[in-house]
Amino acid sequence: MTVARDLLGCILHTEHCAARIVEVEAYLGEGDLAAHSARGITPRTQVIFGPPGHAYVYFIYGMYECLNLVAEPKDVAGCVLIRAVEPVRGQDLMEARRGNRVRKARDLTNGPGKLTLALGISRREHNGADVTRRTSPLFVTEPDVAIAASQIETSSRIGIRQSTDLPLRFFVRGNPFVSRP
DNA sequence: TGGCTGATGCCCT
DNA sequence: GGGCATCAGCCAA
């Protein structure tokens, strides 16, 4: 939960692109039925139970991939879903990868499935990547512009059917790339 | 502007 | 075989 808030403002880097994280959701280990880790270790969820600072990329609804960052020590479940980012570098490439249908700038990366497409993130190439190393195909660096605590807004999580009441979604107030206010 | 729906593949029971 | 941490397009107002 603390990690989730700290990730706001951080910069996510892939090979040719960089983007600022503006919306996240925390998924806890115990008692959080909405989390993929709720039923223990499976082939899909083993990364979540590994060391922190690694990427958990999963496939959903038959066509989208979503990016999480593992937040808890080894053997403890807990991760942060990256829900929206603001492009910083490589915007042309993001547009090319998203296709010509994108009309407004914010539609490029204002959702978990959209940002993985735009940044070129996939299970095959990025699941399990160590995001603390600059040599990694996917890594995170400190904020270029600090996000004040007063700018962080909290809400319940989006798109889930279990544990819908927990206040575990965090986003930057007023940022146009946030998926929903 | 907001609500509904089809697309589509994988994971787990 | 059911359900899913989604998205874009369509429709009614």
Q: What per-residue confidence (pLDDT) applies to A102? A: 83
In a domain, A52, yes or no: yes
Q: How far is the CA of A37 from the C1' of B11 (A)?
A: 13
Contact A141, A122 (CB under 8 A): no
A179 occurs within a structural domain: no
b or e along A21-53 (b: 16 or more beta carbons within 10 Å of the residue's beta carbon)? bbbbbbbbbeebebbbbbeeeeeebebbbbebb
A180: in domain: no
Chain C footprint positions (protein CB, under 7 Å): 3-9
Query: Nearest 5°: phi and psi at A3?
Result: -60, -40
CA–C1' A74–B3 (A)? 43
The pair of three-digit structure tokens given for residue A64, joined into one six-digit string = 């989208």
A10 within some domain: yes
* pTM summary value: 0.97
Q: pLDDT value at position A1? A: 83
In a domain, A116, yes or no: yes
Kindly state whether residue A178 falls inside one of the protein's structural domains: no
Among protein residues, the one whose C-alpha sits closest to the C1' atom of C8 is: A101
- Domain of residue A24, residue span: 2-172
**Domains in chain A: how many in total?**
1
The whole-angstrom separation of Cα A62 and Cα A27 is 22
* A58 part of a folded domain: yes
pLDDT of residue A23: 98
Residue A154 lies inside a defined structural domain of this protein: yes
Task: Walk along chain A (181 residues) and give the pLDDT tens digit of each residue.
Answer: 899 999 999 999 999 999 999 999 999 988 899 999 999 999 999 999 999 999 999 999 999 999 999 999 999 999 999 999 999 999 999 999 998 778 899 999 999 999 999 999 999 999 999 999 999 999 999 999 999 999 999 999 999 999 999 999 999 999 999 999 8
Residue A26 sits in a domain of what CATH number? 3.10.300.10
CA A16 – CA A89 distance, rounded (Å): 8
Strand B-proximal residues of A, range 22-41, CB below 7 A, are 36, 39
pLDDT at A103: 81
